[in-house]
Structure 1
Amino acid sequence: MKTASIIMILGSLLLLGLFKFPLWNIMLGAPQYPDPLGMNIYIDGIKGVEEFDLQNIDGINHYIGMKTIPKPEEMWEFSVFPKVILGMSVLGVIIGLLGFFGKVSYKFFLGWFVLMAVLGLLGMYDFNNWLISYGSDLDPNAIIKVTNPDGSPMSYKPPLFGFQKLLNFDVTSLPHIGGYLMFVGMLLTLIASWLGRKASLKTSTA
């Protein structure tokens, strides 16, 4: 159980990487931009991959009526997400320490993983809703208006995950370092619960 507890602590601590590294990355490439434009989504805000990327993306979006990329104070998520990640990391470490000293069973490890998975899915759902709003709520007085074949306004929603063609832009949306650290951390806590269960079964049959 002690090995499982140490892995649980390490997995929980990996979440803290989200305070340094981006969670997600969106890149936009087009013939007129030999160097693609990109934005990194952190848990507390959005930054350009290069210095002027956000400014250039906002400039392009202005022509089709998209809103400017939000600042941290314009989205409640950027104040709530850091608290959630910190809270889950601290909770995971506490559970790991309690497991190390035999105060809780492996079921608490699994419970932490389930809770984190639910919070992660809710975060992805919220992020996707923001992308829908960002790409669909367009200014009717925009300089350029592009419609679908049926005459309805075209949506410029970037993909939540993967690749998509938006007009002449190739848009790619993938996890970044912070996202991978979070996934590895969660995987470690799942492994910890499995090892803890194994240790518990050995103890009960001894």
Structure 2
Amino acid sequence: MKSASILMIIGSALLLGLFVFPLWSITLEAPQYPNGIGMNIHLDGLEGKEKHDLQNIDGLNHYIGMSKLPKPDEMWEFSVFPTVVGSMALLGVCIGVLGFFNKVSPKWFLGWLILMIILGILGMYDFNAWMTDYGTNLDPKAIMKMTDAEGNPLSYKPPLFGTRHILNFVAHSYPHTGAYMMGSGMLLTFVAYWIGNKKSHK
């Protein structure tokens, strides 16, 4: 049980990497931007991949009527998500410590993992909803009004995951270092549960 508990502690602590590294990354490629422009999405705000990338993205979006990228105080997620992640990391470490002293069973490891999965799904749903609103709620007074063959306004929503062509841009949306650390941590907690459960049934 001690080895399983140590894995649980390490897995939970890996969530703290989200306070250092980006969770997600979106890059736009186009002929006028051969090196691409993009942004990294952190728990507490957005950061351009290069110094002026956020300003350049806002400048491009202005022509087609998209809103400016939100500041940290303009989205509740940027204040709530750090609290949720920090709380889950602390809770997981506490469960791991209690497991180390045989105060809780491996089922607590699994319970933490299930809760983390649910929170992750809710977070991705919220992220996708924001991108949908960001890419479709356009200013009717925009300089450029692009429509499809049926006359409907085009959607400029970036992909949640993968690549999508948007006008003359190619948008790439993929997890960044923080997401991989979180995924690795969740995998470790599952391994911790598996090892602990196996030993408890001997």
State the TM bucket, normalised to the shorter chain: over 0.9
Question: Could you tell me how far apart the structure 1 residues matched to 2:184 and 2:150 are?
Answer: 44
Q: Which residue of 2 aligns with 1:32?
A: 32
Corresponding residue number in structure 2 for 1:172? 172
> Superposed, which structure 2 residues align to 1:21-60 within 5 Å?
21-60=21-60
1:165 counterpart SS class: strand
* Whole-angstrom distance in 1 between the partners of 2:108 and 2:148: 51
Give 1:12-161 correspondences, 5 Å limit. Answer: 12-161=12-161
Q: Aligned to 2:201, what secondary structure does the other structure show?
A: helix
* Structure 1 residue matching 2:88: 3-state secondary structure: helix
How far does residue 148 in structure 1 lie from its aligned partner after superposition?
A: 1.3
TM-score normalised according to structure 2 size: 0.99
Letter in 1 for 2:51: E
Deviation for aligned residue 1:35: 1.4
Whole-angstrom CA distance in 2 between matches of 1:149 and 1:10? 53
Identity %: 64
Q: Which residue identity does 2:106 align to in structure 1?
A: Y
State whether structure 2 residue 192 is matched by structure 1 residue 192. yes
How far apart, in 2, do the equivalents of 1:35 and 1:172 lie? 13
Name the Cα RMSD after superposition.
0.4
Q: Residue 184 of structure 1: CA displacement?
A: 0.4
Please state how far the C-alpha of 1:149 moved relative to its aligned partner: 1.2
What's the secondary structure of 2:28's corresponding residue? strand
The runs of at least 4 aligned residues of structure 1 exceeding 2 Å deviation read: none
Tell me how far 1:181 sits from its aligned partner.
0.3
Where structure 1 has 5 or more consecutive residues not aligned to the other structure, the ranges are none
Counterpart of 1:5, as a letter, is S
Secondary structure in 2 aligned to 1:173?
strand
Q: What is the CA–CA distance in structure 2 between the aligned matches of 1:171 and 1:74, rounded to whole Å?
A: 24
Deviations 1:82-137 (A, max 9, x none): 00000000000000000000000000000000000000000000000000000000
**For structure 2, which runs of at least 5 residues remain unmatched after alignment?**
none
SS in structure 2 at match of 1:111? helix
TM-score (ref. length: structure 1): 0.98
Give the Cα separation in 1 of the matches to 2:106 and 2:136.
45
Give 2:114's aligned amino acid: V
